[in-house]
């Protein structure tokens, strides 16, 4: 999976299409990511030790990884991600649009 935790991503499908957020968690086995302040759902929470009073709380729901794209910091748009090996043998993720290195693997 080419999307990682702390990446800035943009939704390309769904009710929040076009909005951007930071990835809170990524699960490559299931193919889902959780993005901050996107795909919010209401959860009916019972009272427990951490939350004395129960009620309806808002929380982020998971999103299929197919429905998000990484935002390149250089060209500031949602782009596809590729992989490239550097001269020293390290693998990096690159922006397919401008060729900018996103980070080291």
Q: Which phi and psi (to 5°) does residue 4 adopt?
A: -125, 170
Q: Is the pLDDT of residue 27 over 80?
A: yes
CATH architecture, domain defined by 1-71: Roll (2.30)
Enter the pTM of the model. 0.88
**18-42 b/e (C-beta count within 10 Å ≥ 16 → b):** eebbebeebeeeeebbbbeebbeee
Between CA 83 and CA 92 the distance in angstroms is 6
β-strand pairing of 91-95 with 101-104: antiparallel
pLDDT in tens, 77-93: 999 999 999 899 899 99
What's the distance, Cα to Cα, between the start and end of the chain in Å? 12
Identify the band that residue 19 occupies on the pLDDT scale cut at 50, 70 and 90: very high
Between CA 57 and CA 91 the distance in angstroms is 41
H or E segment to which residue 81 belongs: strand 81-85
Q: Where in the chain is the domain with CATH 2.30.30.30?
A: 1-71
* Mean of per-residue pLDDT scores for the chain: 94
Q: Is the pLDDT of residue 24 over 60?
A: yes
How many beta carbons lie within 10 A of that of residue 1, not counting itself?
Answer: 13
Q: How much of the chain, in percent, has pLDDT values that exceed 70? A: 98
Give the pLDDT of residue 50. Answer: 86
Q: Is the pLDDT of residue 104 over 80?
A: no
Q: How much of the chain, in percent, has pLDDT values that exceed 90? A: 88
């Amino acid at each position: 999976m080419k999307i990682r935790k702390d990446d800035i991503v943009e939704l390309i499908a769904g009710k929040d299409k076009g909005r951007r957020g930071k990835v809170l968690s990524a699960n490559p086995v299931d193919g889902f990511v959780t993005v901050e302040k996107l795909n919010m759902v209401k959860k009916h929470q019972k009272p427990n030790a951490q939350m004395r009073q129960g009620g309806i709380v808002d929380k982020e729901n998971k999103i299929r990884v197919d429905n998000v794209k990484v935002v390149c910091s250089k060209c500031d748009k949602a782009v596809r991600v590729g992989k490239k090996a550097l001269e020293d043998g390290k693998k990096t993720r690159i922006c397919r649009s401008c060729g900018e290195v996103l980070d080291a693997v």
